[in-house]
A and B are shown apart, each in its own frame.
Chain A
Amino acid sequence: MGIKEIRIAGFGGQGVVLSGQIVGQAASIYDDGFSTLTQNYGPEARGGSCTTEVVISDEPIGYPYVQNPGVLIILSQEAYDKYRNGLSSEALMIIDPDMVKPDPSQTPAPLAIPATRMARELGRVVVANIITLGFLVAVSDIVSPEALKNSVLTSVPKGTEEFNAKAFETGYSYGLEQGKRSEVPDG
């Protein structure tokens, strides 16, 4: 296995950094590999742009930053406009279609999961990021679904595990329906 790189971008308050931490922990602890998470945010606690990146490898990681992301989760139009260019043709982009209106000419077209809407229907909008992560491991092999689920359950507040597990399964099932895409390319 080479290096796998994921970038998650949106605005503060969407659980961007927590999502990255869940993916990074899944890779480092539950898949027993190595991962490095870096983050970038402005002075605002909420509403400002926010990006987190995770590099995953089966060896200790030297250079800690994403150079050629294989997967992107894009949760705001601003992030889409910033990161859509310069991607490799194999890069897999996941968007929330209620947050991002993609350029119709983009190929391959991004995969869409209306996670915010689905979370609202489940009863709590804060689990949108967990739904998206469930979707992520259904459509890519960046980390194993088991590792990710374990990582979700140890990262969320005590007492909310069941609800978050349901959110994870909701996204995972939605992803399987969409059809598993080809493997995440090595970066």
Chain B
Amino acid sequence: MSENGVLCGTFFMNGDVACAEGAISAGCRFFAGYPITPATEVAERMSERLPYVGGVYVQMEDEIASMNAVLGASWTGRKAMTATSGPGFSLMMENLGLGVMLETPCVLANVQRAGPSTGLPTLVGQGDMMQARWGSHGSYEIIALVPSSPQEMFDLTITAFNLSERYRVPVLMMSDEAVGHMSEKVVIPQIAPEELVNRRRPHGGQEQYLPYKPDEDLIPPMAIVGEGYRFHVTGLTHDERGYPAMTAEAQDQLVRRLADKIRLNKKDIIRYEEVEVEDAEVIVCAYGISARIARLAVRQARAEGMRAGLLQLITVWPFAEDRIRELAQQVKAFVVPEINYGQIVLEVERCAAGKANTLLVAHMGGSVHDPQTILQAIKEAVR
């Protein structure tokens, strides 16, 4: 451990713990949450660790309050996060929308279990992928990352905070029970200050500052509440001063900007990994734990002489639509294994736009795919 209490070294730890350590390395100093399997270990670790780095952990009465507390903490200048699973994620949806509307940097980790409802509390699912995109009401854009290993839980939590601070938007870590409860070697480097993004601060005088007046990149600089700048937040549609503005024009200006600040920067945001796609005629498009299962299926397919590749999505939102469109020109088909009854496959199909076939390999949750079922789908797809 380094002097300031931030961890450094090589550890054997589970994904949830790695997520918490990633947050601490990213500068997160506030956590509010309510324990829920399989995300509890994130909260547990934060409750142990935050006091050593000058942070604050609050166990809230529920997930609605947790999300609110995170937004409030962020406005005081702290980097803040919470972690939950399906039922808690549902409760957080309303205030996630508030975070989008108030352009509040924060990170929400969802360690997915199988639903709907209480479902299988201790077992894996990937059924919240569309909820991540559309779960709160209204038109908006969100950023969601999907880790597939404890190391990525660490690394991508730092990325999540950085994107959140850069774009002033809540960022979702859409993990799953398998990755959260899996333990592997995690290398925790010392993170240099310049690797961490901090929200842009007001650059004019206090008199001129308008809290929702964006810079050229559509992102407004953010003052800390109580330091003297004008401060007003409301979930109502608001003008550049932050005051309610109940007109179609104000709505148009604000809601377009909230979406466009993400849409126009998707090249900077979108991340994916490719394995043997160059000559592939079938590409398995997968994310999270399913990508690791798919990797084995792709290797087996290659060993049997099929030209298969893997596109592992690391951001699911915004969706890697340009890349899928490109690949659709080249391949016969995409195979999409997911632990739900078809969510991200709809996006792949939309982008493939009839240029390539799309095959869903659905799994209802409670365990992961048998690699053979993915291999079988690859075989069908090359036929």
Contacts and interface: CB of A to CB of B under 8 A. Distances in A.
A28 interface: yes
B338 to A, nearest CB: 17
Q: Is the interface of A mostly helix, strand, loop or mixed?
A: mixed
A24 B11 CA distance: 11
B184 interface: yes
A47 interface: no
Interface in B11-45: 11-12, 14, 37
B371 A25 contact: no
Interface string A18-38: 001100110011000011111
Interface stretch (A59-67, A71-79, A110-118, A163-171): A59-67
A39 B14 CA distance: 11
A34 B292 contact: no
B111 to A, nearest CB: 14
Interface residues of B, number: 22
A25 B368 CA distance: 24
Interface of B: 10-12, 14, 37, 121-123, 178, 181-185, 289, 292-293, 295-296, 299, 368, 371
A21 B12 contact: yes
A63 B184 contact: no
Nearest to B184: A36
Interface of A: 20-21, 24-25, 28-29, 34-43, 61-65
A175 B37 CA distance: 38
A80 B37 CA distance: 27
Q: Is the interface of B mostly helix, strand, loop or mixed?
A: mixed
A61 B293 CA distance: 11
Contacts of A38: 178, 181-182
A21 to B, nearest CB: 6
Nearest to B181: A39
A62 B10 CA distance: 19
A42 B178 CA distance: 14
Nearest to B10: A29
B17 to A, nearest CB: 11
B199 to A, nearest CB: 35
Contact of B296 (A24, A40, A63): A63
A65 B371 CA distance: 11
B185 A34 contact: yes
B200 to A, nearest CB: 38
A38 B293 CA distance: 14
Given A37-B184, A65-B368, A43 B122 contact: yes
B275 to A, nearest CB: 10
Nearest to A27: B12
B122 A63 contact: no
Given A21-B12, A62-B296, A36 B183 contact: yes
B12 A25 contact: yes
B328 to A, nearest CB: 26
B183 A21 contact: yes
24 contacts: A21-B12, A24-B12, A24-B184, A25-B12, A28-B12, A29-B12, A34-B185, A35-B184, A36-B183, A37-B14, A37-B182, A38-B178, A38-B182, A39-B181, A40-B122, A41-B122, A43-B37, A43-B121, A62-B292, A62-B296, A63-B293, A64-B182, A64-B289, A64-B292
Nearest to B296: A63
Given A41-B122, A42-B122, A43-B122, A35 B12 contact: yes
B182 A28 contact: no
Contacts of B293: 63
Given A25-B12, A63-B371, A34 B184 contact: yes
Nearest to B368: A65
Contacts of A61: 184
Contacts of B12: 21, 24-25, 28-29, 35, 37
Nearest 3 Cβ contacts at the A-B interface: A25-B12, A37-B183, A63-B296
B185 A29 contact: yes
Contacts of B368: 65
A36 B123 CA distance: 18
Nearest to B295: A62
Contacts of A63: 292-293, 295-296, 371
Contacts of B181: 38-39
B333 to A, nearest CB: 23
A168 to B, nearest CB: 18
A34 B184 CA distance: 7
B126 to A, nearest CB: 15
A120 B123 CA distance: 34
A25 B185 CA distance: 8
Contacts of B10: 29
B183 A24 contact: yes
A21 B299 CA distance: 29
A35 B185 contact: yes
Interface centre among B14, B123, B182, B183 (most CB of A within 10 A): B183
Contacts of B121: 43
B182 A36 contact: yes
